[in-house]
């Protein structure tokens, strides 16, 4: 059942992604309505539009007294102006009405004098500062005006978007339905977590890890178990997943020049099957991208680090598009000084793991080297990666590099 | 019921936080065990230690053939070496055993030759490259060795930590129990989301927003409803919350020089009550920090932006400590060029919202100005903030600033 083939042509990384997306022609996500309480980190499916002016009435920005600014002309500590206190919501000349932050401004008032600049004396108020018209007042529509798009479709909702939506009177938001991604690690060497391993087996770490990477972006994941190195078993599981899921991600059973069980299984299931196999990308050369029943299939290496980088390059943009984003959500980036030369192969886009630290206001990026790209501990020892483009052979010590951060900065 | 007081002394921001933490003396968080599938973004309560060497056996890093490297001495395309194919897990001289990536290395073998450098001829294998000993083999313990601390207590788990834990045989992890934080907005002007508002009322946006800010860091939140501007009602709700929750966060009813209903309510409930009230911080001066029944109480401004900054400065460090982190989890930072002068008051730490964009490899930070600090739309229009320290009056256009990012970078 094992098909071997010689070294094949590698496709450039950007071209592989573009070709895949061109074939996929992903549509808009399904829309679901969720309460504001459930909306954190979900992705807006429609523009969020202000339903009314915010604030919807002129309101006080201070604790103090609503006044007519003209009445205070010339007021100072040595020459306080005296106003009549009132509770009426219609202010006449020489009157003052107490207001707390957020209170509507009474009709006739055009400024709020801070509590600290006043003193009450019986029914009267001494004021010792003058004010420009509309001082300390948040005017109608100052925050946003009715009809304004305050967040575009495709925005991932942070707490502040949710706060703004609440202020505007929303109780639910239309968000992209979570895409359902099936995860299938393959390989005779794999044992499920918590089971007995044979002496030549290892625990599968890819399923729970790739699932977490998908969930972090806002996908729901479906556990397909594990598949043996067997084309029929792999094909059956993928086929079953396609019935209920929006995408399938596999690990293992793909190589450049070696074992190609998963690409073979995918190609046996229909057209177009595998679209690109073998990418000029290190680590992650054996990655393949495919489509079956109009759904994306991403075939990652079984090597955990290659699977991570393959997911970063293909899986992350995929899930962002499935959520309706027009661009792949960028990771935070920092500029840092490389502490040690890194090597890379000309013609391959190379992801180099680094550890970024902040010390005396300087950011440095230290390459996290490892003998094998399979060492998953290099991902936990690092907090970001740099991308060395195809036209460069390595990066010199002391160069400023852009680091894409996936972990917290180390502050020394 | 309303107590007014004059302008009070402001405490320096760092000192306020330090004083609060000194009084609080937060202990270690409660420990709970969760499955790897549930562990994403939770915080390790104990060091994660390698239970065994990883890999636990020498394994192939390639698809190819396990060989004795000495047998291949001098092999080349023009002078291939011919080996005998075997399936035995004990390799003798001049033998080769097919292995896939991840397979254990048969005894007696000390290298793996890549498939691409070989050709099978019946039961024989032609090899046309020589190898150094241990070429293409991942050796025992190469990734990590038994007993190594692979992630420290206090680490927030990302997908790669989870993958590494799985590879090491973990099925559950000990993590910090989510602290339970009660949220109580106060103010007569507030109406609950989805209810009828009086003409002088606004929808409360702080409860859902502050809840989301807490949840984002890994806390569980408890909805206490809303409280009117009434010391007794506020006190009753806080008292009830202290019975079941680990911390209380209020908004509104605090000012510098004005309405102090919440600090008064807290002080009425016991000792020490309010520890610091009035911080040299803009916006967020009226923030107060307190302790009741050994539990933290954080009193935020009712102004949404001041509440956000008050939470950033006091709430975020609090929740990180409650989760057992030794330091406050830093936000991603970028260095960017300020596009416009910003002003700040000497003696106040000032948080200035900015929008960071990347254009032609240059990062710029554009101040997001607004008439009032109450404009929550300034938080959704920006993606980070800069901190102007107490000893500076503003920052000039063109200066390089450190931006703390809370949203995605805008890529032009």
CATH number, domain with residue A339: 2.40.340.10
Interface probe, candidates B118, B159, B191, B387, chain A, greatest A C-beta count within 10 A: B159
Min distance A83 CA to chain B CA atoms (Å): 19
Q: What is the per-residue pLDDT for A372?
A: 60
DSSP SS3 for A217 = helix
B145 within some domain: no
How would residue B370 be classed by pLDDT, with cut points 50, 70 and 90?
low
Please indicate if any CB of chain A lies within 8 Å of the CB of B327: yes
d(CA B390, CA B280): 8
- A190 and A271 in a single domain? The answer is yes
pTM, 2 dp:
0.95
Residue of B nearest to A252 (CA): B101
Tell me the HSE value of B407 on the side-chain side, using a 13 A CA sphere.
24
User: Which among B213, B376, B405 is the nearest to A143, CB-wise?
Assistant: B376
Please indicate if any CB of chain B lies within 8 Å of the CB of A282: no
d(CA B279, CA B83): 79
User: Which among B209, B229, B327 is the nearest to A162, CB-wise?
Assistant: B209
Q: What is the per-residue pLDDT for B371?
A: 56
Q: What is the per-residue pLDDT for B2?
A: 36
How would residue A3 be classed by pLDDT, with cut points 50, 70 and 90?
very low
- A191 and A310 in a single domain? The answer is yes
Mean pLDDT for chain B?
94
B5 has pLDDT over 60: no
Q: What is the per-residue pLDDT for A412?
A: 76
**Nearest alpha-carbon partner for A1 in A198, A262, A237, A227:** A262
User: Per residue in A257-282, pLDDT tens?
Assistant: 677 899 999 999 999 999 999 999 99
- B74 and B87 in a single domain? The answer is yes
How would residue B201 be classed by pLDDT, with cut points 50, 70 and 90?
very high
How would residue A6 be classed by pLDDT, with cut points 50, 70 and 90?
very low
Give me the percent of chain B exceeding a pLDDT of 70. 97
Looking at A290-294, A335-339, B99-103, B175-179, which range is the least confident one? B99-103
CATH number, domain with residue A76: 2.170.190.11
Please give the C-alpha separations between residue B127 and each of A133, B72, B74, B228, B329, in angstroms, as whole numbers. 89, 8, 11, 83, 53
A1 within some domain: no
d(CA A16, CA B402): 36
A228 has pLDDT over 60: yes
d(CA A355, CA A378): 10
Q: What is the per-residue pLDDT for A61?
A: 87
- A198 and A224 in a single domain? The answer is yes
Please indicate if any CB of chain B lies within 8 Å of the CB of A258: yes
Beta bridge partners, A255, equal none
How would residue A292 be classed by pLDDT, with cut points 50, 70 and 90?
very high
Give me the percent of chain A exceeding a pLDDT of 70. 97
Number of domains comprising chain A: 4
- B71 and B43 in a single domain? The answer is no
Q: What is the per-residue pLDDT for B175?
A: 98
Interface probe, candidates A62, A114, A160, A365, chain B, greatest B C-beta count within 10 A: A160
The B residues from 185 to 224 touching A (CB cutoff 8 Å) are: 187, 189, 193-194, 199-200, 202-213, 215-216
Interface probe, candidates B186, B205, B283, chain A, greatest A C-beta count within 10 A: B205
Residue of A nearest to B376 (CA): A164
Of the residues B322, B342, B377, which one is the last residue of a structural domain? B322
Average confidence (pLDDT) over B53-81: 93
Give me the percent of chain A exceeding a pLDDT of 90. 87
Chain A residues inside the 8 Å CB shell of B116 = 6-7, 257
Chain B residues inside the 8 Å CB shell of A400 = none
Q: What is the per-residue pLDDT for A8?
A: 62
- B166 and B102 in a single domain? The answer is no
Count of H helices and E strands in chain B?
8, 27
Min distance B291 CA to chain A CA atoms (Å): 26
B236 has pLDDT over 60: yes
A222 within some domain: yes
Do residues A214 and A206 touch, judged by C-beta distance below 8 A?
A: no
Six-digit token string for B290? 């307190």
- B96 and B168 in a single domain? The answer is no
Min distance A368 CA to chain B CA atoms (Å): 12
Q: What is the per-residue pLDDT for B101?
A: 84
- B290 and B187 in a single domain? The answer is yes
d(CA A30, CA A45): 8
A328 within some domain: no
CATH number, domain with residue B220: 3.40.980.10
* Cross-chain residue pair B40–A332, CB shorter than 8 Å: no
Do residues A274 and A267 touch, judged by C-beta distance below 8 A?
A: yes
Q: What is the per-residue pLDDT for B346?
A: 93
d(CA B212, CA B406): 13
* Cross-chain residue pair A216–B330, CB shorter than 8 Å: no
A4 has pLDDT over 50: no
How would residue B374 be classed by pLDDT, with cut points 50, 70 and 90?
confident
Interface probe, candidates A100, A114, A225, chain B, greatest B C-beta count within 10 A: A100
B7 has pLDDT over 60: no
d(CA B338, CA B356): 9
Six-digit token string for B22? 């000194």
- B272 and B362 in a single domain? The answer is no
A293 within some domain: yes
A4 within some domain: no
Looking at A250-259, A284-293, B272-281, which range is the least confident one? A250-259
B6 within some domain: no
Min distance B103 CA to chain A CA atoms (Å): 7
The total of other beta-carbon atoms located within 10 Å of residue B397's CB is 11
User: Per residue in A135-157, pLDDT tens?
Assistant: 999 999 999 999 999 999 999 99
- B161 and B121 in a single domain? The answer is no
Q: What is the per-residue pLDDT for B6?
A: 45
- Per the structure, the complete domain to which residue A159 belongs is given by 31-54+142-176
Do residues B127 and B83 touch, judged by C-beta distance below 8 A?
A: yes
Buried/exposed code over B249-276 (b: 16+ C-beta within 10 A; e: otherwise): bbbbbbbbbbbbbbbbbbbebeeebbbb
* Cross-chain residue pair A380–B151, CB shorter than 8 Å: yes
Mean pLDDT for chain A?
94
Average confidence (pLDDT) over A182-187: 97
Q: What is the per-residue pLDDT for B33?
A: 98
A369 has pLDDT over 80: no
- B183 and B204 in a single domain? The answer is yes
Average confidence (pLDDT) over B143-160: 97
B5 within some domain: no
Residue B230 Ramachandran class (φ > 0 left, ψ -120 to 50 alpha, else beta): beta
Task: Report CA torsion sign: A120, A123, A127, A131.
Answer: positive
- A45 and A64 in a single domain? The answer is no
Min distance B339 CA to chain A CA atoms (Å): 19
Of the residues A76, A109, A138, which one is the last residue of a structural domain? A138
């Amino acid at each position: 059942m094992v098909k071997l083939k010689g070294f094949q042509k590698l496709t450039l990384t950007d071209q592989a992604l573009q070709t895949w997306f061109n074939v996929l022609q992903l549509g808009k996500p399904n829309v679901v309505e969720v309460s504001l309480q459930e909306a954190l980190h979900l992705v807006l499916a429609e523009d969020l539009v202000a339903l009314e002016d915010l604030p919807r009435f002129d309101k006080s920005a201070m604790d103090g007294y609503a006044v007519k600014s003209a009445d205070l002309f010339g007021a100072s500590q040595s020459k306080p102006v005296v106003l009549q206190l009132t509770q009426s919501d219609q202010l006449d000349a020489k009157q003052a009405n107490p207001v707390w932050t957020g209170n509507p401004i009474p009709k006739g008032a055009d400024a709020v004098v801070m509590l600290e600049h006043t003193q009450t004396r019986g029914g009267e108020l001494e004021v010792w500062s003058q004010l420009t018209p509309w001082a300390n007042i948040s005017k109608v529509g100052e925050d946003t005006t009715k009809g304004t798009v305050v967040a575009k479709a495709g925005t991932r909702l942070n707490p502040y978007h949710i706060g703004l939506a609440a202020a505007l009177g929303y109780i639910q938001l239309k968000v992209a339905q979570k895409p359902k991604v099936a995860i299938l690690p393959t390989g005779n060497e794999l044992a499920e977590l918590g089971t007995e391993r044979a002496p030549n087996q290892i625990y599968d770490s890819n399923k729970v890890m790739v699932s977490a990477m998908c969930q972090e972006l806002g996908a729901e994941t479906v556990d397909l178990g594990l598949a043996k190195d067997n084309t029929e078993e792999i094909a059956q599981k993928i086929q079953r997943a396609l019935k209920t899921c929006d995408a399938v991600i596999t690990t293992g059973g793909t190589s450049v020049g070696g074992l190609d069980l998963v690409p073979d299984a995918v190609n046996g299931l229909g057209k177009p099957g595998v679209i690109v196999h073998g990418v000029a990308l290190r680590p992650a050369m054996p990655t393949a991208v495919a489509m079956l029943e109009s759904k994306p299939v991403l075939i990652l290496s079984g090597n955990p680090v290659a699977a991570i980088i393959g997911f970063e390059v293909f899986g992350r943009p995929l899930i962002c598009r499935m959520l309706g984003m027009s661009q792949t959500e960028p990771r935070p980036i920092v500029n840092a000084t490389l502490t040690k030369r890194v090597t890379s192969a000309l013609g391959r886009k190379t992801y180099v793991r680094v550890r970024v630290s902040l010390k005396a206001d300087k950011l440095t990026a230290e390459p996290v080297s490892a003998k094998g790209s399979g060492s998953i501990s290099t991902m936990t020892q690092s907090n970001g990666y740099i991308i060395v483009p195809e036209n460069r052979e390595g990066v010199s010590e002391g160069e400023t590099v852009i680091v894409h951060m996936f972990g917290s900065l180390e502050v020394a």
